[in-house]
Amino acid sequence: MASGEGVRRGAGELEGEVLAALHAAEAPLTPADVQRALGGGLAYTTVMTILSRLYTKGFARRLPAGRGYAYCPAQNEAQSVARQMHSLLGVGSDPAAVLAQFVDELDPDEEQLLERLIEQRNGPGGS
């Protein structure tokens, strides 16, 4: 997905797009492969920087490919997204307020799913 002229995406958004491309691929991707998968709207050096950040943060693995590297996700998509969500909780000064806001913005089906997951985790009789 190419960004519009004059529109600048944040590093977190770019990392998410690159990670999504890695998850969608059936094999490790080179930076050029990722650039093509994202529609070619990003500079090659930007793609390389994002891949390097994902590798440094532990979200991607890199494998030798020719004179460079090919990248693949270090975890499955659910694990990666959950890890990102958890790290965002540490950004704010009030994690309880962040979680409350998150729950407030869930649609009813998502809220029921979250309740079921918490009940399953706590088991019979609560925790």
Q: Where are the beta strands (DSSP E) in the chain?
A: 60-65, 68-73
pTM: 0.68
Most confident of 11-15, 31-35, 38-42, 79-83: 31-35
CATH fold of the domain at 1-91: Arc Repressor Mutant, subunit A (1.10.10)
Which residues, listed in sequence order, are joined to residue 29 by a DSSP beta bridge?
71
Ramachandran area for residue 6 (φ above 0: left; ψ -120 to 50: alpha; else beta): left
Domain residue spans of the chain: 1-91, 92-127
Residue-wise pLDDT for 64-123, tens only, equals 999 999 999 999 889 888 888 888 888 889 989 989 999 999 999 999 999 999 999 998
pLDDT score of 90: 82
